[in-house]
Amino acid sequence: MQTKIQDDPMFLEVQNLSVDLKEFYLDNVNLSLDKNSYMVIIGPTGSGKSVLLETIAGFYRAEKGKIFLEGKEITELNPENRGISIVYQDYVLFPHMNIFENISYGLKKKTKDEEIIKSKVLKMAKLLKIDHLLHRNPDTLSGGEKQRTAIARSLIVEPRILLMDEPFSAVDVSTHAYLTKLIKNVIADYETTCIHVTHNFNDVWNLADKVAVMKEGKILQQDIPTEVFSKPSHNFVADFVGIHNIFEGEIIEKEGSLTKIKLDSDLIVYSSDSSEDSGKILVGIRPENVIFSNETFVSSVQNQIKGVVNEIVKVGPIVWIEVKIGQINFKGILTPNSCEKLKIKKGKNIYLSFKSVNVKIIDKKEFYTP
């Protein structure tokens, strides 16, 4: 294949990258990232997120494809010559060195000037709020403090890209939120381009300029978070990001700005999305966008349908309500309070309302078939 040289290359460009690990295949991955932007990668366990990061870092050999950084190919470069740092979830610090020595470790390979080293470590430690810990040994630190040290150590060498593999997964929820805030500040200050693997969707909302969804060694979709979450391109992505109502349907016609879609059991729904596909498509409706009522009501909402409560499942502070409409099972969520108010019980007739903007068309051509 001809190497693609662009006039204005993306900061990081991964082209048709495949890695063969015998029992796992990273399959023709394409990925692009602007300078100073933040990519978050999500996907189920075993989908190849870590293998992808480690291939970008240079630990796995590409069987096929190319990686470009700032327009220069790095596919065959040794890891230490790529200018890429990687941070793991289990913050591997050097146990026999104190925090100052841990952070300055990589920097010492670049400069011998003690004053420069000291001031750089101090600046970084202040930003990550660990400047009071510099004399301590790693085994006396909390998980969050160790992770901040690991990030400081990786960032201090000013990598061209910082890769983070589930960096916050070993810390509690409030530490996670705190670390998110700190990492945001520090990468803005150091103008670092980041790729961050996570299982936590809050990281997507709080950090990502772009999100990529992986499954079985493939990237299924990469885009800005609102686009991926509101308009998933595959049924798998829709399911993974929490759109539980995914139905096959058929486009009947355009009615003004609305698309009229027929689902199973001749149920008609209206979507504000349009599709170039005529005929079969998938629609996705997030459960939190479904409004329950005992009666029909006059409103601007284009979709109002009647069904029967089929199942009620309480999960933590919310109640999942499954409503049967012909062959279709629709899922919505309510608080226990609302359930009581609406007298929700199995077998009860109920109306579901949802706006046409919340009926998302997932094009058939993008169907993911496992």
Ligand X SMILES: Nc1ncnc2c1ncn2[C@@H]1O[C@H](COP(=O)(O)OP(=O)(O)OP(=O)(O)O)[C@@H](O)[C@H]1O
| Interaction between residue 50 and Mg ion (CB under 5 A) | yes
Q: Which residue's beta carbon is nearest to the bound Mg ion?
A: 50
CB of 43 to ligand X, least distance (A): 6
| Interaction between residue 170 and ligand X (CB under 6 A) | no
Place of tokens 């009947």: 252
Number of residues that bind ligand X (CB under 6 A): 11
Considering only residues 94 to 123 of the shown chain, the ones binding Mg ion according to CB under 5 A are: none
Spell out, one character per residue from 13 to 52, where the chain touches ligand X: x when CB under 6 A holds, - when not.
Answer: --------x-xx------------------x-xxxxxxx-
Q: Which stretch binds Mg ion (CB under 5 A): 42-50, 74-82, 153-161, 201-209?
A: 42-50
Q: Which stretch binds Mg ion (CB under 5 A): 9-17, 43-51, 55-63, 293-301?
A: 43-51
CB of 200 to ligand X, least distance (A): 11
CB of 122 to Mg ion, least distance (A): 33
Number of residues that bind Mg ion (CB under 5 A): 1
| Interaction between residue 7 and ligand X (CB under 6 A) | no
Q: Of all residues in the chain, what percent are helix, strand and coil, respectively (each to 5)?
A: 30, 35, 35
| Partner in contact with 71, chosen from Mg ion, ligand X, none, beta carbon below 5 to 8 Å by kind | none
Write the CA distances from 186 to 161, 193, 233, integer angstroms: 14, 11, 33
Cα separation of 285 and 152, whole Å?
42
Q: Are 361 and 273 in contact (CB under 8 A)?
A: yes
User: Which 8-state DSSP code applies to residue 290?
Assistant: P
Cα separation of 319 and 338, whole Å?
9
Q: Which stretch binds Mg ion (CB under 5 A): 50-58, 79-87, 88-96, 239-247?
A: 50-58
Q: Are 211 and 42 in contact (CB under 8 A)?
A: yes
Q: Hey, what are 126's tokens? A: 């202040």
In sequence order, the 6+-apart residues with CB closer than 8 A to the CB of 217 are 24, 25, 26, 27, 29, 47, 48, 51
Site for ligand X, rule CB under 6 A: 21, 23-24, 43, 45-51
Q: Which residues bind Mg ion (CB under 5 A)?
A: 50
